[in-house]
């Protein structure tokens, strides 16, 4: 029986919806586009295209894996972030739209700053470092990461976006790799793990079962990383420098308290599009 794009995508969307995937049609179209090495627009525009047996087998396998709640980004190998195509793979946190606000806040504060020195702490896939370096041509970014798997993916993204040399990857835990450099930074940026440990089991299966626990678990109250990151960053900032961190819902006041207790003179909180307090900026 001849397999065509349109009916196969319709079947896949139904299968994914039954499995509890919210964006079932979008995911089905993206999986088909990945299978055929074409764009999602091509999938929509050419429902009559015939699949080979190998293509259909590959598509069905990917749909079944997605139905098992395996993350779409891992299946197709990339995710858009701040208008950039970011390579992702198992073992690295998948970039979220919420984190784009962190990039936006930093870019606004660094606007007009020539040759800015920036540190991205816990870089993961390198999405934040890539976005900042791509939008600040004179900046130098130092990106730290403890996970060997994430460092490998980040290196791939630096090569993909031609940023090798402008973004330096450093292996190690949080600020330790940059503390040895003897530099002062205009901005220290981080999307650290901030989910309270006992809430992880209640996350969506895609996150709970497949994304790296190291990048999610923020300790008993979700604040462990901030208790280290904020005090240790202060002595690494330039006179007018700042730390910008992403936070979880309901954590803003606690993070503000940590920052003020550490000696920061001013703390600003920015809400995301859903009205959730999402980014905290602490000024030296």
152 and 37 assigned to the same domain:
no
* Distance separating alpha carbons of residues 54 and 56, to the nearest angstrom: 5
Q: Is 133 helix (H, G, I), strand (E, B) or coil?
A: helix
92 and 61 assigned to the same domain:
no
**To the nearest whole percent, how much of the chain has pLDDT over 90?**
98
**To the nearest whole percent, how much of the chain has pLDDT over 70?**
100
Mean pLDDT, all residues of the chain: 97
64 and 84 assigned to the same domain:
no
Q: What is the mean pLDDT of residues 169-194?
A: 96
125 and 179 assigned to the same domain:
yes
43 and 137 assigned to the same domain:
no
73 assigned to some structural domain: no
* Whole-prediction pTM: 0.94
Of 26, 44, 68, which closes a domain?
Answer: 68
157 and 99 assigned to the same domain:
yes
Inform me whether the pLDDT recorded for 165 exceeds 90: yes
12 and 93 assigned to the same domain:
no
Inform me whether the pLDDT recorded for 167 exceeds 90: yes
238 and 144 assigned to the same domain:
yes
Q: Comparing C-alpha atoms, which of 133, 252, 233 is closest to residue 184?
A: 233
pLDDT tens sequence across 220-268: 999 999 999 999 999 999 999 999 999 999 999 999 999 999 999 999 9
Residue 45 belongs to domain with CATH number: 1.10.8
Owning domain of residue 111: 78-283
The CB-based long-range contact list for 103-111 (8 Å cut-off, 24+ gap) reads 103/128, 103/131, 103/132, 103/135, 105/244, 105/270, 105/279, 105/281, 106/132, 106/187, 106/189, 106/244, 107/132, 107/135, 107/136, 109/187, 109/242, 109/244, 109/281, 110/136, 110/139, 110/186, 110/187
Structural domain total, the chain: 2
11 and 141 assigned to the same domain:
no
**pLDDT, position 112:** 86
85 and 59 assigned to the same domain:
no
**pLDDT, position 114:** 85
196 assigned to some structural domain: yes
Reported as type and span, the H/E element at residue 131 is helix 127-135
253 and 117 assigned to the same domain:
yes
53 and 118 assigned to the same domain:
no
């Amino acid at each position: 029986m001849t397999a065509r794009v349109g009916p196969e995508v319709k079947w896949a969307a139904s299968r994914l919806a039954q499995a509890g995937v919210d964006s079932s049609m979008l995911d089905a179209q993206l999986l088909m586009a990945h299978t055929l090495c074409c764009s999602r627009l091509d999938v929509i525009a050419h429902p009559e295209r015939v699949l080979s047996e190998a293509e259909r087998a590959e598509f069905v396998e990917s749909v079944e894996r997605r139905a098992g709640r395996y993350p779409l980004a891992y299946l197709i190998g990339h995710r858009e972030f701040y208008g950039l195509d970011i390579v992702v793979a198992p073992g690295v946190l998948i970039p979220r739209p919420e984190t784009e606000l962190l990039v936006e806040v930093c870019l606004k504060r660094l606007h007009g700053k020539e040759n800015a020195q920036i540190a991205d702490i816990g870089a993961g896939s390198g999405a934040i470092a890539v976005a900042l370096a791509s939008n600040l041509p004179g900046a130098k970014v130092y990106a730290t990461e403890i996970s060997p798997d994430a460092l490998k993916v980040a290196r791939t993204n630096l090569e993909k976006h031609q940023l090798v040399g402008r973004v330096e990857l450093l292996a190690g835990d949080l600020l330790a790799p940059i503390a040895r450099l003897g530099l002062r930074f205009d901005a220290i940026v981080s999307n650290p793990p901030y989910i309270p440990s006992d809430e992880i089991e209640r996350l969506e299966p895609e996150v709970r079962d497949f994304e790296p626990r190291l990048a999610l678990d923020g300790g008993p109250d979700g604040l462990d990383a901030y208790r280290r990151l904020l005090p240790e960053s202060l002595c690494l900032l330039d006179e007018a420098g700042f730390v910008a961190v992403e936070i979880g819902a309901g954590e803003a006041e606690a993070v503000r308290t940590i920052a003020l207790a550490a000696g920061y003179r001013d703390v600003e909180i920015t809400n995301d599009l859903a009205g959730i307090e999402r980014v905290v900026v602490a000024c030296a």
